[in-house]
Amino acid sequence: MTGGPALIELDEATLVARARDRDPGSFELLVRRYQRRIYTLCLRMLDGASGEAEDLTQETFVTAWRRLPEIQNDAAFGGWLYRTATNKCLTVLQRRRPTVDLDDQHPATDDDPARTAGTTAAMDALSQALRQLPPQQRACWLLREVHGRSYQEIADLVGTTPTAVRGRIARARAELAEVMKPWR
């Protein structure tokens, strides 16, 4: 396949153009570049349900490969991945029965795969609080505060205005700050 020692150093726009041209080697480098970010977003959107998060991450990338010829702007690839993954997560959350306590469904305190040795008490409290937010708010907050996406991009993604996104993030931030109090 396309290769050479320099391939790993290729810029993203070149990789996207080649992947659009059906070059799997270039696409693999894009997957390597983004898989952790997309998987982490799915994991936190889905309350730590790692199996579902893995499935949605895989679906997101395979869909990206198939739809790449339609993504005309080489610089828009990352945004496209975030958009697709977020929408898939929101769909899954919608399908979950709202009457069921999510914590019962996905016990998360002890065997949370997102939990690592470095996890702090404050971070635990934050993860817990995130689960209580409405999915749209959670998506807006995660995309902005953890993944650094722009207000405009998030607005396009959830089908609203940047002002409304700012509102949702403000609301989420106030809710989360409320929970952080005991850890002061």
Site for other proteins (CB under 8 A): which residue of 12, 28, 131, 156? Answer: 28
Q: Does 86 bind other proteins (CB under 8 A)?
A: no
Q: Does 14 bind other proteins (CB under 8 A)?
A: yes
Compare residues 61 and 82 and give the one whose CB is closer to other proteins: 61
The secondary structure of residue 175, as a DSSP letter, is: H
Q: Does 173 bind other proteins (CB under 8 A)?
A: yes
CA-CA distance, 159 to 17, in Å (whole number)?
A: 28
Q: Which of residues 101-130 bind other proteins (CB under 8 A)?
A: 113-114, 116, 118-120, 122-123, 125-127
Judged on CB neighbours under 10 Å (0-12, 13-18, 19+), 143 is buried
CA-CA distance, 33 to 7, in Å (whole number)?
A: 13
| Smallest gap from residue 93 Cβ to other proteins (A) | 19
Q: Does 17 bind other proteins (CB under 8 A)?
A: yes
Q: Does 65 bind other proteins (CB under 8 A)?
A: yes
The secondary structure of residue 144, as a DSSP letter, is: I
CA 142 distance to own-chain centroid = 8
Q: Does 87 bind other proteins (CB under 8 A)?
A: no
60: nearest Cα among 91, 38, 29? 38
Beta carbons of 109 and 49 less than 8 angstroms apart: no
CA-CA distance, 78 to 36, in Å (whole number)?
A: 13
Binding site for other proteins (CB under 8 A): 1-4, 6-7, 10-11, 13-14, 17-18, 20-24, 27-28, 31-32, 35-36, 39-40, 43-44, 50, 54, 57-58, 61-62, 65-66, 113-114, 116, 118-120, 122-123, 125-127, 145-146, 163, 167, 170-171, 173-174, 176-178, 180-181, 183-184
